[in-house]
């Protein structure tokens, strides 16, 4: 727990680090005030018992302590505000870093997660990690508080207090070590089932039409119910274990209190009144120690329950720091303005996802500037992988990928090491197109700098993409909302809006991955007409199954035997 706390507080900003220290001090003041108040009560009772009456000074002092308790209540309210501010502001700070990681991590790491896992990673794990910090502070403060109560009990009850304190420590330690492995397992299962349930919602939304047509909602509903029921079962087990701990501690201590009280009542001493006063103090101390001890065990269990979130956040933050360090190093490297005057040249490229699945071996291909080039091949042979390599999303085991004289694999040109941004000259249309729920204009200008939309440029791009007339027939033209992921558009319209988005960006190379795969012949011809308008002006690289589209290109390559064969 100490290592978790040190790591989590270490990655916070200076502002949040200051906040957790303030919170720790405030958390310490509250129980310290409770101990002082209780000690004062003991003092007042002893004075009254010894003097057989309450003096005016004692009464006034008691009123004063009552006012102090009111101020303490106001202080506790302010502490709650600070605690919530620390948790939620800190969680947002961490989630922003994790989200930046998702945006900047390499393709291999990206492909290891689905949407539900990414959401849990960015939003839930960040908040859970902040709760670990708060739980750790509470554990230490409660431990100090319990130690304070121990001191008062030992002072007032002597050997009985010492034995009771030792029994309390044994009880707390025993309950934690007995349940800790189960609690950690509950935490891992709870997170996994929550992700699984959320994934079914994503699947249901993304496959709404297919589900309706196949009348297969019951299967998805059943998977959601199964995951939800498992999540609920784990949560119930976790809360039940916490209740068992609470009930056991309360009943164990109450039983011990009655047994001790019965023993002393059965063996009264000479000063019965003093004995009863001491027993009241002793029993009151025990009652006040129960919730503190329970909070310690509960906090320890909460930390174990959330450990999976910590492990994943730590792994993610390690990669985040590596990315930031890499960016810092690259700031010192010479910047190069990427060009495409000659073209792209791939030389002796070798790539495999693992040792057993080699995709390319010593493959070479040339994409001359100003030409349109198509790459064809059977499904699964590596067409999309080739594009990912060309775009710098994957790194080959060997070989060169040159944009004119700049090698994007080695990050160097004829003059030595340098840095260039492929996105400065490349526009890309992926196989699976995502459109947000905003207007057509905002979707076309999705990658515009500073989110500024040039409506005239949007119109030009929509015309070039052969979709302008259809947009004008919509209720609000380019200002028409298209629904989440473009649900208000047809498949052909989605494809051509994506083409307009690609055209909106200033580029030298247009890369299209199966851009017409979901279009009928008429719509495909419309896209081909759009490409004809830019053919000869820009370099075009197309991956496709459709020979009708490939035949429109100047050069056609086929992927065979882990290499490229030029067939046109």
3-state secondary structure of 402: strand
Residue 216: pLDDT band (50, 70, 90) is: low
Residue 258: pLDDT band (50, 70, 90) is: confident
Say which residues have a Cβ less than 8 Å from residue 133's Cβ, sequence separation at least 6.
5, 8, 9, 20, 90
The mean of the pLDDT values for the chain is: 81
Q: Cα 85 to the chain's mean position, in Å?
A: 19
Q: Does 338 map to a domain?
A: no
The closest of 559, 509, 161, 70 to 349, measured between CA atoms, is 559
Q: Give how many domains the chain has, as a whole number.
A: 2
- Tokens 């259809």: give the residue: 470
Of 199-213, 299-313, 521-535, give the range with the top mean pLDDT.
299-313
CATH code: domain of residue 84: 1.20.1560.10
- Tokens 């939003």: give the residue: 123
Question: Could you say which of 294, 325, 356 is where a domain stops?
Answer: 325
Residue 351 has pLDDT above 90, yes or no: yes
Residue 486: pLDDT band (50, 70, 90) is: low
In this prediction, residues 451-469 reach a mean pLDDT of 83
Residue 267: pLDDT band (50, 70, 90) is: low
In this prediction, residues 256-266 reach a mean pLDDT of 68
Phi (first) and psi of residue 387, to 5 degrees? -65, -40
Residue 409: pLDDT band (50, 70, 90) is: very high
Q: Are residues 377 and 316 in the same domain?
A: no
Residue 54 has pLDDT above 80, yes or no: no
In this prediction, residues 187-216 reach a mean pLDDT of 73
Q: Are residues 319 and 366 in the same domain?
A: no
Which DSSP letter does residue 123 get?
I
pLDDT recorded at residue 145:
82
Residue 196: pLDDT band (50, 70, 90) is: confident
Which DSSP letter does residue 337 get?
-
pLDDT recorded at residue 31:
73
- Name the more confident of 177 and 521: 177
Q: Are residues 214 and 273 in the same domain?
A: yes
- Name the more confident of 305 and 253: 305
Assign 3-class secondary structure to 209-236: HHHHHHCCHHHHHHHHHHHHHHHHHHHH
Q: Is 403 left (phi over 0), alpha (psi -120 to 50) or beta?
A: beta
pLDDT recorded at residue 224:
76
Among the listed ranges 208-212, 243-247, 249-253, 354-358, which one has the minimum average pLDDT value?
208-212
Q: Are residues 6 and 114 in the same domain?
A: yes
The closest of 9, 18, 279, 269 to 132, measured between CA atoms, is 9
Residue 244: pLDDT band (50, 70, 90) is: confident
**Helix count and strand count (H, E) for the chain:** 17, 12
Among the listed ranges 21-35, 297-311, 365-379, which one has the minimum average pLDDT value?
21-35
Residue 34: pLDDT band (50, 70, 90) is: confident
Length, in residues, of the chain: 568
In this prediction, residues 500-527 reach a mean pLDDT of 77
Residue 275: pLDDT band (50, 70, 90) is: low
CA distance 497 to 515: 11
CA distance 553 to 273: 105
pLDDT recorded at residue 212:
61
CA distance 431 to 435: 13
Residue 223: pLDDT band (50, 70, 90) is: confident
- Contact (Cβ atoms closer than 8 angstroms) between residue 99 and residue 119: no
Residue 239: pLDDT band (50, 70, 90) is: confident
Sign of CA dihedral 404, 409, 414, 416: positive
Residue 301 has pLDDT above 80, yes or no: yes
CATH code: domain of residue 367: 3.40.50.300
* 487-500 tens-digit pLDDT: 667 777 888 888 88
In this prediction, residues 270-287 reach a mean pLDDT of 64
- Token reading at 357: 């699945």
pLDDT recorded at residue 407:
93
In this prediction, residues 131-138 reach a mean pLDDT of 90
The proportion of the chain whose per-residue pLDDT surpasses 90, expressed as a percent, equals 15
Residue 344 has pLDDT above 90, yes or no: yes
Q: Side-chain half-sphere of 20: how many Cα atoms within 13 Å? A: 25
Q: What is the pTM of this model?
A: 0.76
pLDDT recorded at residue 563:
92
Residue 66 has pLDDT above 70, yes or no: yes
Of 49-63, 227-241, 355-369, 512-526, give the range with the top mean pLDDT.
355-369
Residue 67: pLDDT band (50, 70, 90) is: confident
Q: Are residues 392 and 425 in the same domain?
A: yes
Helix ranges (DSSP H) in 105-124:
107-110, 115-119
Q: Are residues 372 and 319 in the same domain?
A: no
Q: Does 484 map to a domain?
A: yes
In this prediction, residues 59-88 reach a mean pLDDT of 81
Sign of CA dihedral 141, 142, 148, 151: negative
Q: Are residues 354 and 317 in the same domain?
A: no
Q: Are residues 466 and 317 in the same domain?
A: no
Q: Does 330 map to a domain?
A: no
Residue 334 has pLDDT above 70, yes or no: yes
Residue 265 has pLDDT above 70, yes or no: no
Question: Could you say which of 325, 359, 387 is where a domain stops?
Answer: 325
Q: Does 477 map to a domain?
A: yes
Q: Does 503 map to a domain?
A: yes
Residue 188 has pLDDT above 80, yes or no: yes
Residue 564: pLDDT band (50, 70, 90) is: very high
pLDDT recorded at residue 141:
86
Among the listed ranges 146-160, 259-273, 434-448, which one has the minimum average pLDDT value?
259-273
pLDDT recorded at residue 387:
92
Phi (first) and psi of residue 226, to 5 degrees? -60, -50
Q: Are residues 172 and 234 in the same domain?
A: yes
Q: Does 247 map to a domain?
A: yes
Largest Cα separation within the chain, whole Å, is: 114
- Contact (Cβ atoms closer than 8 angstroms) between residue 549 and residue 466: no
Residue 129 has pLDDT above 70, yes or no: yes
- Contact (Cβ atoms closer than 8 angstroms) between residue 555 and residue 387: no
Residue 362 has pLDDT above 90, yes or no: yes
pLDDT recorded at residue 201:
74
Q: Does 285 map to a domain?
A: yes
Q: Are residues 310 and 371 in the same domain?
A: no
Q: Cα 267 to the chain's mean position, in Å?
A: 62
Q: Does 474 map to a domain?
A: yes
Q: Are residues 138 and 222 in the same domain?
A: yes
Of 52-66, 352-366, 404-418, give the range with the top mean pLDDT.
404-418
- Name the more confident of 495 and 90: 90
Domain of 220? 2-325
Q: Are residues 455 and 530 in the same domain?
A: yes
Question: Could you say which of 298, 325, 352 is where a domain stops?
Answer: 325
- Tokens 């939304």: give the residue: 205
């Amino acid at each position: 727990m100490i290592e978790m706390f040190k790591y989590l507080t270490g990655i916070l900003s200076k502002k949040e680090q200051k906040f957790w220290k303030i919170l720790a001090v405030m958390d310490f003041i509250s129980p310290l005030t409770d101990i002082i108040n209780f000690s004062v009560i003991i003092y007042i009772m002893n004075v009254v018992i010894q003097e057989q009456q309450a003096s005016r000074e004692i009464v006034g002092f008691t009123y004063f302590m009552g006012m102090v308790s009111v101020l303490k209540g106001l202080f506790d309210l302010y502490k709650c505000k600070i605690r919530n501010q620390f948790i939620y502001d800190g969680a947002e700070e961490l989630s922003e870093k994790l989200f930046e990681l998702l945006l900047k991590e390499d393709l291999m790491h990206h492909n290891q997660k689905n949407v539900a896992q990414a959401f849990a990673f960015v939003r839930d794990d960040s908040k859970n990690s902040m709760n670990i910090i708060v739980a750790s502070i509470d554990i230490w403060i409660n431990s100090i508080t319990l130690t304070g109560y121990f001191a008062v009990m030992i002072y007032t009850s002597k050997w009985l207090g010492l034995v009771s304190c030792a029994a309390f420590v044994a009880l707390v330690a025993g309950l934690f070590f007995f349940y800790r492995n189960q609690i950690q397992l509950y935490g891992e299962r709870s997170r996994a089932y929550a992700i699984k349930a959320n994934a079914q919602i994503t699947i249901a939304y993304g496959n709404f039409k297919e589900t309706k047509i196949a009348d297969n909602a019951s299967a998805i509903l059943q998977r959601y119910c199964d995951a939800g029921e498992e999540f609920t079962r784990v949560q119930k087990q976790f809360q039940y274990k916490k209740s068992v701990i609470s009930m056991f501690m309360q009943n164990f201590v109450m039983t011990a209190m009655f047994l001790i009280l019965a023993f002393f009542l059965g063996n009264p001493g000479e000063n019965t009144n003093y004995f009863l006063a001491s027993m009241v103090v002793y029993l009151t101390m025990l009652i006040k120690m129960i919730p503190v001890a329970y909070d310690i065990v509960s906090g320890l269990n909460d930390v174990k329950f959330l450990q999976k979130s910590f492990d994943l956040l730590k792994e993610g933050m390690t990669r985040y720091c590596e990315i930031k360090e890499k960016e810092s190093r690259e700031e010192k490297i010479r910047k190069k303005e990427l060009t495409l005057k000659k073209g792209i040249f791939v030389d002796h490229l070798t790539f495999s996802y693992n040792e057993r699945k080699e995709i390319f071996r010593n493959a070479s291909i040339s994409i001359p500037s100003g030409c349109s080039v198509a790459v064809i091949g059977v499904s699964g042979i590596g067409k999309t992988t080739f594009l990912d390599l060309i775009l710098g999303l994957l790194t080959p085991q060997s070989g060169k990928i040159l944009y004119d004289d700049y090698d994007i694999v080695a990050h160097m040109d004829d003059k030595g090491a340098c840095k260039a941004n492929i996105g400065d000259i490349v526009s890309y249309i992926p196989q699976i197109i995502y459109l947000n729920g905003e207007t057509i204009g905002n979707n076309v200008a999705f990658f515009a700098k500073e989110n500024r939309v040039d409506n005239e440029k949007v119109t030009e791009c929509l015309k070039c993409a052969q979709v302008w007339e259809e947009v004008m027939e919509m209720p609000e033209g380019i200002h028409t909302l298209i629904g989440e992921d473009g649900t208000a558009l047809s498949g052909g319209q989605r494809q051509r809006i994506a083409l307009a988005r690609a055209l909106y960006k200033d580029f030298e190379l247009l890369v299209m991955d199966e851009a017409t795969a979901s279009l009928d012949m008429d719509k495909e011809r419309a896209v081909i007409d759009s490409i004809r308008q830019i053919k000869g002006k820009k370099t075009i690289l197309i991956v496709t199954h459709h020979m009708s589209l490939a035949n429109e290109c100047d050069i056609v390559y086929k992927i065979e035997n882990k290499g490229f064969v030029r067939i046109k």
